[in-house]
Structure 1
Amino acid sequence: MKQQEQSRAIQFEAFGGPEMLRLRDVPAPRAGAGQIRVRVTAAGLNPMDWFMTSDAATAARFGLSLPCGFGTDYAGVVDRVGAGVTGFAEGDRVFGGALSRAVADHVVIDVGGTIAVGGDAHRTPDGVDDRTAATLAIAGRTATAALAAVGHGGGLGPGDTLLVGGAGGGVGVFAVQLARLAGARVIGTGSAASADALRALGAEPVTYGEGLADRVRALAPGGVTAAVDLHGAETARVARELGVPDERISTIAVRIDGIAGANGADAAPGALEEIAGLIAAGRLRVPLAATFPVERIRTAVELQAARHVHGKIVVDLR
């Protein structure tokens, strides 16, 4: 009898914190009709990963049940192609998202699927390494959606001064650079320790916390025209205090009456391809805060969950 092909996967046997994560040997998934199988080389972490799996009730809201995988962003190489698939071949480098199952040696993707249902895959351009590609699916989409929500119909431009809350986080590194590429001036909130990192992205740093409105006024006496809050509600509230109209404010982590809430599902078609192309052309960069081997997944998640890193955290599965 032919031995079953094996694969490693990070799994939860009970929902909870990083201490509940386990690296398991499991049967390797097979690609069926309309599917590809990807040999994952890197998986990027996002706050939603540990939020979704923090307890059974939250997991159920996202359609997750035990035993459950972990992580959503992935990059790797196609190693199996199911019947009827066109557009992908074995050996193609790809990246994308597969909800709560990306941190594994292999992931099966529905070619016509979405991150939440079946997963999705995009070609990785030459000039974009797998670690970088593994950071794009959630944060890249979310950043473009948050910016589009404050575009006032015509998008951001040279006449805009954009206030970005949580500018040094995983979504912020994309939002800041995309806004700068559009010609906007960007003021980014963060800790005092993040100032140099924010300047490197093209933002003018300002510390969050009490007195934020006054500090922004000092930096931008001509006013702020738009704001995206990528952490909580402080930046959105300050934007209102500074006279920014609600239709030019967006949030991703909380919902505020009258203000648009944005998530990656709202991103325009082709958003990820555009971001990947900018990276390949050297016009956008993704700072990696840390990389960990899959055996150190708990340490990686603990660092990510602390929400004090500047950039993205990636787990290697090579």
Structure 2
Amino acid sequence: PIVGPRALLLLLASAGILFGAMALVISARSDVYSLSKPQWQPSCTGHGGWAIWLPYGIVIAHVALVFPVLEVAMVMIHNRHSVRADILACMVLSQMATVAYVIWTTLLGGLRDYLSELFVVWVAALATNISSLRTEFNQVMEDRTRSEEFLAFSTRFYRSELPSFLSDYHLLKCKVLEVLMENQQQQQVPGAADHGPGTECSNTGAEVPAPQCMQRPPASTAAKSGDLLNRHPLAADVPVTIGIFEAVATLLPHVAVDKKTQFPGAVKSAFSAFVHAHLACGPNSTLGIPAEIASEVQAAVEQSNVVLSVLDRAKDEALLLLCTNEFLGYCRWLETQGCSARQ
């Protein structure tokens, strides 16, 4: 293999040396966390002393040589368990954090009076953990079977309304795509003057049929009614994590849409029902989405400016709440069952 035991050992040793270098820098530079003894001479700990340039040299070697070599090798490995992106993200983040740490300890003397040098290390570790958790969450949500299991877990153990919100949003997204596909097909009929409801979103010049993956399957292929994310014949072909505007732009490239494109008239009633059920402003709302986002949606409805992207912020906030509040509990539950979120 390209990345064998020696390369992995090199990575672990490099991380150990890096932490050692950081400890030396703290010892030599920090007045609060210093481990240096009074008999140390200024010639050793000053800006030109070996106690400073030795760890800096190690840090530069890691940032400029060790990590780039390992990153190139990591790109070439077989991504069997979908971990390559996580490892590369952690490596790049480590390089950035190392550079930020050196700048912190050398140039930001005034800021060090209020925050320890370890603040950069803490932020880097926190960002790495969040990035890894969000990557696993996205992988679960992109897998229909695992996403159904996670949403069922969230509903059962957390009594959360977020799965219901996401399910209704996904259904609304599929209805929008269905209407736009029907409008597109009607425009291909010669002499069709009346395009039916929802034509304000249609591409009047489109002559190419919808992609094969978006052709509406027969009703018999629809999932069972009990499935949260499979309540529409198109549900299996539409990603759960993308918004309505992005879904239309990606899956129906021949339909002209922009940031000002309005919701099709045929789904206005479904949109109103969704907003009333999940984003109605009031003290009894337990969804957890900030009132500011709900107010923006309500204002758009009152101003009759219901664009395709009006619900995107609410959807993103719902996914963030699921990831930060409930997904970690789901991962721990899987561990008790002898499974893993990354399968």
Query: TM tier, shorter chain?
Result: under 0.3
Higher percent of residues as helix: 2
Higher percent of residues as strand: 1
TM-score norm. by structure 1 comes to: 0.22
| CA radius of gyration, larger in | 2
